[in-house]
Amino acid sequence: MLPLISRSFVAAALALCLALPAYADSYIARLLNKPVPGGVAVVDLGPAIQAPKATFQGKPVLVVKDQDAHWLAIVGIPLSVKPGTSQQVISAGRNLPFTVGNKKYPEQHITLKNQRQVNPNPDDLKRIEQELDIQVRAYRSFSPVTPSNLLLDKPVDGPLSSKFGVRRFFNGEERNPHAGLDFAVPAGTPIKSPAAGKVILIGNYFFNGNTVFVDHGQGFISMFCHMSKIDVKVGDAVPRGGVVGRVGSTGRATGPHMHWNVSLNDARVDPAIFINAFQP
Ligand SMILES: [Zn+2]
């Protein structure tokens, strides 16, 4: 016969085993849980009648209902987070840890004819700073809407030409890593919203050219740039598949292509995860 303390330990261990399959079997976790820098962590918040709130690095995160009235936090992990570290989501006063794995991102060397796009002049730098501020504010906005779909549609039908996270060297000088996916499609191709959403920002920016931000809800945000034409205005409700603009090569671009960012809790993450094209 087991002493009392061991018996309660066994009971606790059994309860943990019983609780685990609900999470491991979760369709959402299987598809989206890629806890690497620039990836996504799916964190089980447990059962609750109402949606619990959750934060990561002080920022609100997307919370969705899973099977069996379980709630899941869908957490964006910034590229700057160190692999191997333990991170935590905070929800209802609890610390819920997850470990960040490793992922090696390749390098890319790009030649630009316009040296000003590599080393902008002081006026450009002032403009870039202001534009960055406006765009970061858009990424940090948080609406209470539940996204229409977590698995996103491809905004254009075409092959990938540049992956997420690539370390980029312009004319030999390292700049910010590639924060989105590029698709090789001709200029003028319509860009379709990968989920329903609301247009929260449009602009013509130094690096991104003609740009549209679509908020899918709870900090889950798409950004499209280098467009030749914008077909929406701020405040527009966009249905899933609704056209937001046309492919172009405005801003810092070597030719027409569609660049798409996906952001969660103000962290730019690999859009490939959401179209089931992620490679570890
Ligand atoms: Zn790009």
- Residue-by-residue pLDDT tens, the chain, 280 positions: 444 445 554 444 444 444 444 455 688 999 999 999 999 999 999 999 999 999 999 999 999 999 778 899 999 999 999 999 999 999 999 999 999 999 999 998 988 888 888 888 999 999 999 999 999 999 999 999 999 999 999 999 999 999 999 998 989 988 889 999 999 999 999 999 999 999 999 999 999 999 999 999 999 999 999 999 999 999 999 999 999 999 999 998 889 999 999 999 999 999 999 999 999 8
CA distance 176 to 173: 10
CA–CA distances in Å: residue 238 to residues 20, 113, 115, 135, 193: 38, 37, 37, 19, 7
CA distance 12 to 15: 5
Q: 38 alpha carbon to ligand 1 midpoint, in Å?
A: 15
- Same domain for 220 and 131, yes or no, is yes
- Same domain for 250 and 230, yes or no, is yes
- Same domain for 148 and 223, yes or no, is yes
Beta strands in 92-228 (DSSP E): 94-99, 107-110, 160-162, 167-170, 173-174, 181-183, 190-192, 197-205, 209-217, 220-227
- Same domain for 92 and 172, yes or no, is no
The residue out of 74, 99, 124 marking a domain boundary is 99
- Same domain for 47 and 145, yes or no, is no
- Same domain for 216 and 143, yes or no, is yes
Identify the pLDDT of residue 149.
Answer: 97
- Total domains in the chain come to 2
Query: 265: burial class by Cβ within 10 Å (0-12, 13-18, 19+)?
Result: buried
- Same domain for 269 and 149, yes or no, is yes
Identify the pLDDT of residue 273.
Answer: 98
Tokens standing for residue 163: 């992956």
Q: 165 alpha carbon to ligand 1 midpoint, in Å?
A: 10
Q: 203 alpha carbon to ligand 1 midpoint, in Å?
A: 17
Identify the pLDDT of residue 24.
Answer: 53
Q: 102 alpha carbon to ligand 1 midpoint, in Å?
A: 23
| 67 contact partners, CB below 8 Å, separation of at least 6 | 22, 25, 26, 27
φ, ψ (nearest 5 deg) of residue 261: -105, 145
* Domain-located, residue 163: yes
Q: 108 alpha carbon to ligand 1 midpoint, in Å?
A: 12
Q: Residue 20 sits in which domain range? A: 4-99
The residue out of 51, 76, 99 marking a domain boundary is 99
Identify the pLDDT of residue 25.
Answer: 63
- Same domain for 91 and 116, yes or no, is no
Instruction: Kindly report the CATH number assigned to the domain that includes residue 77.
Output: 2.60.40.1590
* Domain-located, residue 280: no
DSSP count for the chain of H helices, then E strands: 3, 21
Instruction: Kindly report the CATH number assigned to the domain that includes residue 128.
Output: 2.70.70.10
* Domain-located, residue 144: yes
- Same domain for 79 and 117, yes or no, is no
- Same domain for 43 and 142, yes or no, is no
